[in-house]
Amino acid sequence: MVGFSAGSNLILNLVSDSHEGDATSSDPIARESSRPNFVALCATWAGGQNISKFKIDATAPPAYLFHAKDDRTAKLGFAEKVAEAWQQAGVPVELEVYETGGHMAFRACSV
Protein backbone atom coordinates (compact mmCIF):
# COMPACT_ATOMS: atom_id res chain seq x y z
CA MET A 1 0.00 0.00 0.00
CA VAL A 2 1.15 3.50 -0.82
CA GLY A 3 -0.34 6.59 0.79
CA PHE A 4 0.38 10.30 0.56
CA SER A 5 -0.45 12.69 3.39
CA ALA A 6 -3.87 11.68 4.79
CA GLY A 7 -3.50 8.41 2.87
CA SER A 8 -0.39 7.61 4.88
CA ASN A 9 -2.34 8.31 8.05
CA LEU A 10 -5.04 5.92 6.85
CA ILE A 11 -2.39 3.23 6.31
CA LEU A 12 -0.98 3.82 9.81
CA ASN A 13 -4.47 3.22 11.21
CA LEU A 14 -4.83 0.04 9.14
CA VAL A 15 -1.46 -1.31 10.27
CA SER A 16 -2.41 -0.52 13.88
CA ASP A 17 -5.71 -2.38 13.66
CA SER A 18 -5.28 -5.04 10.99
CA HIS A 19 -6.87 -8.46 11.32
CA GLU A 20 -5.20 -11.74 10.42
CA GLY A 21 -8.37 -13.24 9.04
CA ASP A 22 -10.33 -16.26 10.19
CA ALA A 23 -9.27 -19.40 8.35
CA THR A 24 -12.35 -21.23 9.62
CA SER A 25 -14.86 -18.69 8.31
CA SER A 26 -17.31 -19.72 5.61
CA ASP A 27 -17.00 -16.19 4.20
CA PRO A 28 -14.01 -16.06 1.79
CA ILE A 29 -13.46 -12.36 2.54
CA ALA A 30 -13.34 -12.96 6.31
CA ARG A 31 -10.64 -15.59 5.74
CA GLU A 32 -8.28 -12.98 4.31
CA SER A 33 -5.91 -10.81 6.35
CA SER A 34 -6.29 -7.04 6.16
CA ARG A 35 -2.60 -6.56 6.96
CA PRO A 36 -0.64 -5.12 4.01
CA ASN A 37 2.57 -6.89 3.00
CA PHE A 38 4.50 -3.63 2.57
CA VAL A 39 3.70 0.06 3.11
CA ALA A 40 5.03 3.31 1.69
CA LEU A 41 4.18 6.38 3.73
CA CYS A 42 4.80 9.61 1.86
CA ALA A 43 4.53 13.06 3.43
CA THR A 44 3.29 11.25 6.52
CA TRP A 45 0.58 13.36 8.14
CA ALA A 46 -0.20 13.02 11.86
CA GLY A 47 -3.81 14.14 11.56
CA GLY A 48 -3.65 15.56 15.07
CA GLN A 49 -2.65 12.15 16.44
CA ASN A 50 0.37 11.26 18.53
CA ILE A 51 2.58 8.32 17.52
CA SER A 52 1.50 6.51 20.71
CA LYS A 53 -2.01 6.17 19.19
CA PHE A 54 -0.63 3.73 16.62
CA LYS A 55 0.20 0.13 17.55
CA ILE A 56 3.39 -0.68 15.68
CA ASP A 57 4.76 -4.06 16.68
CA ALA A 58 6.63 -7.02 15.21
CA THR A 59 3.59 -7.89 13.07
CA ALA A 60 3.81 -4.59 11.16
CA PRO A 61 4.83 -4.87 7.50
CA PRO A 62 8.14 -3.44 6.26
CA ALA A 63 7.87 0.29 5.59
CA TYR A 64 9.38 2.93 3.33
CA LEU A 65 8.84 6.58 4.22
CA PHE A 66 9.85 9.69 2.36
CA HIS A 67 9.48 13.25 3.46
CA ALA A 68 10.68 16.76 2.69
CA LYS A 69 12.28 18.87 5.40
CA ASP A 70 10.33 21.92 4.23
CA ASP A 71 6.90 20.25 4.50
CA ARG A 72 4.81 22.65 6.59
CA THR A 73 1.65 20.53 6.52
CA ALA A 74 3.09 17.20 7.69
CA LYS A 75 6.07 17.83 9.90
CA LEU A 76 9.20 15.73 9.44
CA GLY A 77 9.30 15.05 13.18
CA PHE A 78 6.22 12.85 12.96
CA ALA A 79 7.71 10.79 10.12
CA GLU A 80 10.87 10.37 12.21
CA LYS A 81 8.77 9.10 15.14
CA VAL A 82 6.97 6.67 12.83
CA ALA A 83 10.29 5.32 11.54
CA GLU A 84 11.55 5.02 15.11
CA ALA A 85 8.44 3.02 16.08
CA TRP A 86 9.15 0.58 13.23
CA GLN A 87 12.79 0.30 14.32
CA GLN A 88 11.80 -0.36 17.93
CA ALA A 89 9.45 -3.10 16.71
CA GLY A 90 12.34 -4.72 14.85
CA VAL A 91 10.64 -4.38 11.46
CA PRO A 92 12.56 -3.19 8.38
CA VAL A 93 12.04 0.52 7.71
CA GLU A 94 13.68 3.15 5.52
CA LEU A 95 13.14 6.90 5.92
CA GLU A 96 14.31 8.99 2.96
CA VAL A 97 14.45 12.74 3.62
CA TYR A 98 14.73 15.48 0.99
CA GLU A 99 15.79 19.07 1.65
CA THR A 100 12.93 20.50 -0.41
CA GLY A 101 9.73 19.34 -1.99
CA GLY A 102 7.05 20.69 0.31
CA HIS A 103 4.06 18.67 1.38
CA MET A 104 3.88 16.47 -1.67
CA ALA A 105 7.56 15.60 -1.65
CA PHE A 106 7.20 13.14 -4.51
CA ARG A 107 7.83 16.11 -6.81
CA ALA A 108 11.38 16.19 -5.49
CA CYS A 109 12.27 12.56 -6.16
CA SER A 110 11.74 9.73 -8.55
CA VAL A 111 10.07 6.83 -6.77
Rounded distance, CA 17 to CA 55, Å? Answer: 8
Report pLDDT for 88. Answer: 97
**In degrees, to the nearest 5, what angle opens at C-alpha 1 toward C-alphas 92 and 16?**
65
CB 21 within 8 A of CB 32: yes
Domains of the chain, by residue range, sit at: 2-108
CATH superfamily of 2-108: Alpha/Beta hydrolase fold, catalytic domain (3.40.50.1820)
- pTM of the prediction? 0.83
Rounded distance, CA 54 to CA 17, Å? Answer: 8
Condensed to tens digits (0 to 9), the pLDDT of residues 17-55 reads 877 877 888 888 888 777 889 999 999 999 888 899 999
Instruction: Identify the three-state secondary structure at position 81.
Output: helix
Report pLDDT for 111. Answer: 47
* Residue 70 pLDDT grade (very low, low, confident, very high; cuts 50, 70, 90): very high
Instruction: Identify the three-state secondary structure at position 12.
Output: helix
Could you give the percent of the chain with pLDDT greater than 90?
A: 61
